[in-house]
Chain A
Amino acid sequence: MLESNKHSIFQTINAASPIDKVGVEERVARFQTRSIKDDAKAQGLKMVLSMIDLTTLEGKDTPGKVKQMCFKAHHLHDLHPNLPQVAAVCVYPSMVAIAKQALEGTSVKIASVATAFPSGQSNLEIKLADVKLAVDSGADEIDMVISRGKFLSGEYNFVFDEIAMIKEACGVARLKVILETGELCTLDNVRKASDIAMYAGADFIKTSTGKIQPAATMQVTYTMLLAIKDYFEATGKMIGMKPAGGISTSKLALHNLVMVNEILGPNWLHNEWFRFGASSLANDVLMQILKLESGSYQSPNYFTLD
């Protein structure tokens, strides 16, 4: 990127208006008063299912675990017809090949975390190699982490350049940039990191690794959705959003969709532009869908754990 070009991008990023946390909390509370019932609820829940990145990111992950999760990704609840499948599975790079094999012939995407996930504490060479491993093994999407230490010490250029280089290494794979908002602490920082990520080439911005609390709070997601909106107004380019970590109930997921609907509009209500990073959300959504249709809740025993 040309230095002068970059200079003007940073002017744009720095020109973002400050964020008043109290005001954000009030706005978010207002979204939560939206009452989603009947058809809207059924439609919303199915959208949620189709937007899930079914995730396992544990040290103890094995091929066995990953294979079973992949099967669930396209067989969410076979007893019930007309259910969508999830958008993607999200695994470590070492598990991408396994997932690829397990998901062959399906349209479920494979996302892989990379860049020394979750801390990002390594050098560029290793981060690029990490990305390469995932992409070469067949990942469709790369979920990178930003260097929070560099960000907090004010080295925004470093963060920007790193994202730009990872993006290049992704090739055709779509890049999700994890800000790890729980470590950025302020909404102003969340906004700044969102802007840096988008201008550096992110296809998606994502709240968290799931390893740090708090993760995807509605306040943080709201702030990032507004950043996406402003970026779209300025450039005409759509950026995706992925809240990850802490969204485990249908109600919270629907409130997130309400925010997307009212800030970004229906164009974003598609798994191409919005995802939930979650490991236990799917079953709660399934339970609610079946409750809507039958009128009563079924035991959790009827929903598979993978």
Chain B
Amino acid sequence: MENKKNASEDHQWLYSPSLESTSHIEIKDKYELFINNEWIAPTSNKYFDTINPADEKVLSKIAWANAQDVDKAVKAARKAYDEVWSKISAGDRSKYIFRLARMMQEKARELAVIETLDAGKPIRESRDIDVPLACNHFFYYAGWADKLDYAFPNQKTESLGVVGQIIPWNFPLMMAAWKIAPALAAGNTVVLKPAETTSLTALKLAEIIKEAGIPPGVINIITGHGDTGEALVKHPDINKIAFTGSTQVGKAIQKALVGTGKRSTLELGGKSANIIFDDAPIDQAVEGIVNGIFFNQGHVCCAGSRLYVQENIAEKLVEKLKHRMKSLILGNPLDKNTDIGAINSREQLQTIEKYIQIGIQEGSEIFQCEGALPANGFYCKPTIFTNVSQSSVLSQEEIFGPVLTIQTFRTIDEVIQKANNSPYGLAAGVWTDKGSKIFNLTSKLKAGVVWANTYNKFDPASPFGGYKESGFGREGGMHGLGAYLKIIK
């Protein structure tokens, strides 16, 4: 039979733009600090721009809190803790959290669009993953608020007091939910600091908090840069710091906390291994690799950024991966068909590009899809490197972008050793059709989460957190609740 190698013009089928509407959202020109359910101008009188990384246009101006503002917020939280939140019944706490969850759900569409505008992530992800998961986190912990005695049977627990929470820019609303929901359920009050590039959904959440009638001071949201976070960490009347972000900042926080008696949980960086055995369902594994490294442009602490492939299937798998990458659509994050959106900031794009250069200099083989990047905005093509060694910089350092390193292995022992040979230990993926192999690896991989035949799956009921320099403490599930309680008996 004669085969037609080249598609004629009329065979090409390109998807027309399918943009999510922005007509239904409301973004104010300027946002103040949210303290005591009021919008308070910063004493610094300073504001900074938050931009859309997809087109570099300014979305709004955000208040920049200094130490004095942080103090106001902590005082509000302390007062609310002493006078209201620790006094009301657990059942009432539960009702408030449920109300928040429901109201977030009602505004899901607006939250998703704003998240996409401010963070650059595809609307498909903010709509189908970020926002629903954020709501579910509130729903889940609302259920625990009046059942703490069942969560920790035969023990008596007590809330910690005022909690300072600092969150990253990769999952802005979802991280706010991960932090706020268990803290409130356990009976604490909160001062939350969003990341400077992605404050908007936290501020929308503040509007919902006010509308929901959460007692003033229970949740305070202060915006700013690193110095704002530092002031929060150093504030003497904070009982606990919960931080998600880079290992570098995590180390600084830990140093600052030494001897203060403040508790802490840190969820830090990662360089997670995704391991493909020769008996794996190969096409589904390819999908898992794509989800593992290209989900949210690779801005995922648990991204499966180190791929280990058994040598006898490596060639075939890499071919299939390249083929799959060709069908990824990069572009306007508001387009419902976009798979790869914008990189969160210019700084992050520069970091990623630096690592890509390192990879090329190290002699690894690069593959990127063809096609032009949008003229404005911060974009990076999905990138894979083959012929990478364990000792390459590229396979050791966290890139936090859509860059995958691929190494081969021969035996199980070898891959366990290599996977664990990292200062990080946040997550891992194992792909094999053989159950016994999965159990063998889950007990030997030093990673907080091990996914089998899937990757990047999250659920509020499932604890998440790292080994080694990926941090300590767990978020999600009963473990996440325990992190906001002290056992007193």
CB-CB nearest in chain A for B317: A17
Query: When the two chains form their complex, are residues B279 and A18 in contact, meaning their CB atoms are under 8 A apart?
Result: yes
B7, B13, B319, B336: the one contacting A47 at CB < 8 Å is B13
Query: When the two chains form their complex, are residues A35 and B336 in contact, meaning their CB atoms are under 8 A apart?
Result: yes
Given contacts A33-B336, A35-B337, A262 and B453 within 8 Å (CB-CB): no
Query: When the two chains form their complex, are residues B1 and A203 in contact, meaning their CB atoms are under 8 A apart?
Result: yes
A3 on the B face (CB < 8 A) = no
Give Cα A19–Cα B454 distance, bound, in whole angstroms: 13
B4, B6, B7, B453: the one contacting A20 at CB < 8 Å is B453
A36 on the B face (CB < 8 A) = yes
Give the chain B neighbours of A169 by CB distance below 8 A. none
Given contacts A34-B337, A237-B3, A20 and B281 within 8 Å (CB-CB): yes
Give Cα A186–Cα B319 distance, bound, in whole angstroms: 26
Query: When the two chains form their complex, are residues B284 and A27 in contact, meaning their CB atoms are under 8 A apart?
Result: yes
**1/0 contact trace for A1-40 toward B, CB 8 Å?**
0000000000000000111101110110000011111111
Main SS of chain B's interface residues? loop
Given contacts A23-B288, A262-B327, A37 and B282 within 8 Å (CB-CB): no
Query: When the two chains form their complex, are residues B281 and A19 in contact, meaning their CB atoms are under 8 A apart?
Result: yes
A266 on the B face (CB < 8 A) = yes
Give the chain B neighbours of A23 by CB distance below 8 A. 281, 283-284, 287-288, 453-454
A26, A37, A261: the one contacting B18 at CB < 8 Å is A37
A182 on the B face (CB < 8 A) = no
**1/0 contact trace for B312-335 toward A, CB 8 Å?**
000000010001000100000000
Query: When the two chains form their complex, are residues A43 and B287 in contact, meaning their CB atoms are under 8 A apart?
Result: no
Query: When the two chains form their complex, are residues B13 and A37 in contact, meaning their CB atoms are under 8 A apart?
Result: no
Give Cα A226–Cα B286 distance, bound, in whole angstroms: 12
CB neighbors of A among B1-34 (8 A): 1, 3-7, 11-18
Give Cα A234–Cα B4 distance, bound, in whole angstroms: 16
A245 on the B face (CB < 8 A) = no
Give the chain A neighbours of B454 by CB distance below 8 A. 22-23, 26
B381 on the A face (CB < 8 A) = no
Give the chain A neighbours of B283 by CB distance below 8 A. 17, 19, 23, 226
Query: When the two chains form their complex, are residues B3 and A33 in contact, meaning their CB atoms are under 8 A apart?
Result: no
Give the chain B neighbours of A37 by CB distance below 8 A. 15-18
Given contacts A22-B453, A237-B1, A35 and B18 within 8 Å (CB-CB): yes
CB-CB nearest in chain B for A42: B16
Query: When the two chains form their complex, are residues B13 and A44 in contact, meaning their CB atoms are under 8 A apart?
Result: yes
Query: When the two chains form their complex, are residues B11 and A33 in contact, meaning their CB atoms are under 8 A apart?
Result: no
Query: When the two chains form their complex, are residues B15 and A35 in contact, meaning their CB atoms are under 8 A apart?
Result: yes
Query: When the two chains form their complex, are residues B128 and A266 in contact, meaning their CB atoms are under 8 A apart?
Result: no
A65 on the B face (CB < 8 A) = no
CB-CB nearest in chain A for B3: A238
Give Cα A23–Cα B336 distance, bound, in whole angstroms: 22
A41 on the B face (CB < 8 A) = yes
CB-CB nearest in chain B for A16: B282
B11, B124, B280: the one contacting A269 at CB < 8 Å is B11
Query: When the two chains form their complex, are residues A39 and B16 in contact, meaning their CB atoms are under 8 A apart?
Result: yes
Query: When the two chains form their complex, are residues A269 and B15 in contact, meaning their CB atoms are under 8 A apart?
Result: no
Give the chain B neighbours of A34 by CB distance below 8 A. 15, 336-337
Given contacts A35-B15, A270-B11, A236 and B453 within 8 Å (CB-CB): no
Give the chain B neighbours of A33 by CB distance below 8 A. 124, 128, 336
Give Cα A262–Cα B319 distance, bound, in whole angstroms: 15
Given contacts A35-B336, A262-B327, A27 and B287 within 8 Å (CB-CB): yes
B49 on the A face (CB < 8 A) = no
Give the chain B neighbours of A18 by CB distance below 8 A. 279-281, 433
Give Cα A265–Cα B6 distance, bound, in whole angstroms: 10
CB-CB nearest in chain A for B14: A40
Give Cα A23–Cα B432 distance, bound, in whole angstroms: 13
Give Cα A26–Cα B290 distance, bound, in whole angstroms: 13
A267 on the B face (CB < 8 A) = yes
Give the chain A neighbours of B336 by CB distance below 8 A. 33-35
Give Cα A266–Cα B279 distance, bound, in whole angstroms: 31
A-B contact pairs, 18 of them (CB 8 A): A17-B281, A18-B279, A20-B281, A22-B454, A23-B287, A33-B336, A35-B18, A37-B17, A40-B14, A229-B323, A233-B319, A238-B3, A262-B327, A267-B4, A267-B5, A267-B6, A267-B7, A269-B11
Q: Which residues of A contact B (CB under 8 A)?
A: 17-20, 22-24, 26-27, 33-41, 43-44, 47, 203, 226, 229, 233, 236-238, 257, 261-263, 265-267, 269-270
Q: Which 10 A-B pairs have the closest CB atoms?
A: A23-B284, A35-B18, A20-B281, A266-B7, A35-B336, A17-B282, A262-B327, A38-B16, A40-B16, A266-B11
With A233-B319, A237-B3 given, name 11 new contacts (CB 8 A). A18-B433, A22-B453, A35-B336, A36-B16, A37-B15, A37-B17, A40-B16, A41-B16, A229-B323, A238-B3, A257-B13
